[in-house]
Amino acid sequence: MQKQTVQLIGVPTDIGAGARGASMGPEALRVAGLAAVLESHDLQVHDIGNLPGPANPWLPPDQGYRHLKEVEQWNQTLHDAVHAALARDHLPMVLGGDHCLGIGSISAVARHCRETGKTLRVLWLDAHADFNTAELTPSGNVHGMPVAVLCGHGPKELTGIGGTTPAISPSVVRQIGIRSVDEGEKRFVHKHGLEVFDMRYIDEKGMRHTMEQALAGMDDNTHLHVSFDVDFLDPEIAPGVGTTVPGGPTYREAQLCMEMIADTGRMASMDVMELNPALDVRNRTALVAVDLIESLFGKSTLMRKG
Ligand SMILES: [Mn+2]
């Protein structure tokens, strides 16, 4: 059998973030040994390097958005790269970069699913729902908006990326680890019926039950996309992110989450977002991220016989 190829796509920008530094994320993941770890699991790794894009002008919001033109440009370039990777039967792994890049990545995955008749499921691992709009957020940072944009709410420059608006329906999304949502955003999430497994749910039901629910209903035709915002993790184990929120999943809970995703065998694309080396301690957060990615690809801590 031919080896699965993982295509690493570096997107060195913090164009949608509220703090500078996520632009260094792709290199930090490489330095943490990402490629070697994947190769040790019998995967072929094709690192295409970093995509090009505009510099971050670091301006205040203009009509509700910061850097809309640059955000559009980065996401269009990423959309094309992810779509091309999927067309070659590669598994694209987007190395962010801030989470506004979920727009380009997931719109490409959704387009690929439409073209191939696959059913899309998106797991959004994050401390935040990222379901803001310009009306709801004062900051104008687009990294708080990608899920809303993908569901068709936002500026047409972004909602139109990929050619179909909306790119996805809220019904394909399962959000896990959420613990920081403002009031207006919360109402908007409820209105659109996004399925959210917040930290209270994980506390009460446990990660195992949470993941069983989030992964339920998939079949052989499902394309599973994992959008992993590193701030999903508790800041105790992952300090190197721009927007830390206490009370996230522990190392063990995160491992279980990743292992249960691996068990499905359905993951066909992913993002690793918001790693900010400027805020990290000796690349510790990148190393934890790589460790968890390894579990996504089948490293098992299981000792008992299957
Ligand atoms: Mn996010």
How confident is the model over 127-185, as pLDDT tens digits?
999 999 999 988 999 999 999 999 999 999 999 999 999 999 999 999 999 999 989 99
* Structural domain contains residue 273: yes
What local confidence, expressed as pLDDT, does residue 180 receive? 95
Q: Which structural domain range is residue 96 located in?
A: 5-296
Q: Give the active site residues.
A: 99, 126, 128, 130, 143, 229, 231, 274
Compute the distance from residue 129 Cα to the ligand 1 centre, in Å.
7
pLDDT tier at 10 (50, 70, 90 boundaries)?
very high
| pLDDT cut 70: percent of the chain above it | 97
Identify any residues that bridge with 96 across adjacent strands, giving them in sequence order.
11
The pLDDT tens digits of the residues spanning 36-51 come to 999 999 999 999 999 9
Query: The domain spanning residue 79 has which CATH number?
Result: 3.40.800.10
| 229 annotated ligand binder | yes
Q: What's the domain count of the chain?
A: 1
Q: How far apart are CA 198 and CA 29, in angstroms?
A: 27
> Collapsing DSSP states into helix, strand and coil, what is residue 248?
coil
Q: Is 67 annotated as a binding residue?
A: no
**28 within a domain of the structure (yes/no):** yes
Residue 301 confidence class, pLDDT cut points 50, 70, 90: low
Residue 302 in any domain: the answer is: no
From the CA atom positions of the chain, what is the Rg in Å? 17
Give me the chain's average pLDDT, please.
Answer: 96
Mean pLDDT lowest among 12-26, 70-84, 289-303: 289-303
Under 8 Å between Cβ of 199 and 161: no
Answer whether residue 304 is part of any domain.
no
Contacts of 52 (CB under 8 A, 6+ apart): 77
Region 63-78: mean pLDDT is 98
Q: What is the structure's pLDDT at 302? A: 60
| Span from the CA of 1 to the centroid of ligand 1 (angstroms) | 36
pLDDT band at 305 (very low <50, low <70, confident <90, very high): low
Whether 30 maps to a domain, the answer reads yes
Decide if 233 contacts 252 (C-beta within 8 A).
no
Q: How far is Cα 229 from Cα 265, in angstroms, rounded to an integer?
A: 21
Residue 275 DSSP label? B
